[in-house]
Amino acid sequence: MACQGTTCSAGQPKPIINAKTYMKTVVGSLGLSTSSSLVQATLVTFDSGVYRPLAWTNNATAMNTAIDGLCNGNQNTCSGYTNIAGGLQDAFTLLSGIPSSFGGAKVVILLTDGQGNRPIPSTSNTVGSNPVAYQAAMNIKGSGATLISLGFNGAILTALNGYASVDPNCVGVASGRRHVYAGATIDDLESFLQQIAKAICGDNVECASPPLDQPACNTERSAWDDVNTQCGTECRAQINQFSSGIQYRTCTNFCAGVGRKCVSGSSSCTSGTTTTCNTIRSDSSYTCRCGDPLYF
């Protein structure tokens, strides 16, 4: 998990507290028990560096204590950087230490609120822009482990999708669906807990996306950040500060930030020409059409 900006400073504001609570809820679904060594877990944290607060354990209390210690100054520095590459590399190292005789499932859960910017800073918002992280994810999946990507706030959807494993249970029109769960805030990930628990256990998950809830999307637009103009009734909006830093740059990233998939982009509300969702824009404002809730 990465702690960015002021998220981890000034007495731990709500975002990091909520993230800790969410992480402990996920831990609760693992079935850790001190009376059995069949299920074990560990924790890797990252900011500019990478840290291991504890070794492999079957003790849920020890895991929760380590989570509570995050961003307290004793287990990582929470500098605001997001070293996803280092975190995934360390996870692969830990997996490599598991004896070959182990016959159980191996799962890595990546939780991040930002874009990987260490060890290779990037402004292109694509998986390939941080090849070290992408290669580490490939190594994890190549070892037979399942990689589940959880993202919120400024997490880059295209990168999360590239890191994650394909769900082998999804076939037909849902073929290729990956273990990716994303939302605008950590609270939005609560609705995915059951699917995540099933993915951890290798059980079947719901593979079909829900139908487009256009009216709900149109209602939400007034609460979206940086909206200049709400366009018609197609869940479209013209977004200000589109080229500001690396916050948006593509409609895929903007729509992911409000918890939705992207449909298309365009230069204005009235433009008849559309662009693909992953087209990188440097405009001061741009129009995005969002669609289905994120449910990969």
pLDDT, one tens digit per residue, over 204-222 is: 655 544 444 556 677 778 7
Which superfamily, per CATH, for 14-120+127-201?
von Willebrand factor, type A domain (3.40.50.410)
Domain with CATH 3.40.50.410 in the chain: 14-120+127-201
How far is CA 255 from each of CA 34, 46, 125, 133, rounded to the nearest angstrom?
43, 26, 14, 23
SS3 content of the chain, % helix, strand, coil (to 5): 35, 20, 45
Q: What is the pLDDT of residue 125?
A: 44
The pLDDT score that the predictor gives to residue 296 is 40
- Say whether pLDDT at 3 is over 70: no
User: Per mean pLDDT, which of 73-77, 98-102, 152-156 is the most reliable?
Assistant: 98-102
Give CB contacts under 8 A, 24+ apart, made by 39-42: 39/104, 42/94
127 pLDDT above the threshold of 80: no
The predicted model gives 272-280 an average pLDDT of: 83
| Cα dihedral across residues 81, 224, 263, 277: positive or negative | negative
Residue 144, pLDDT above cutoff 70: yes
Cα Rg, the chain, nearest whole Å: 19
Q: Considering the chain, what percentage of its residues have pLDDT values greater than 70?
A: 74
In single-letter form, the type of residue at position 241 comes to: Q
What are the pLDDT digits (tens) for 23-73? 999 888 888 888 888 889 999 988 888 889 999 999 999 999 999 888 764
Tell me the range of 50-54, 151-155, 225-229 where mean pLDDT is highest: 50-54
Q: If pLDDT is split at 50, 70 and 90, which confidence band does 11 have?
A: very low
Residue with tokens 């008849």: 272
* Mean pLDDT value across the chain: 76
Whole-model pTM above 0.95? Answer: no
The residue among 156, 164, 151, 182 whose CA lies nearest residue 259 is 182
Write out the two tokens for 140.
């994890």
Strand ranges in 27-121 using DSSP code E only, listed in sequence order: 41-46, 50-57, 107-112
Residues 17, 60 contacting (CB under 8 angstroms) = no
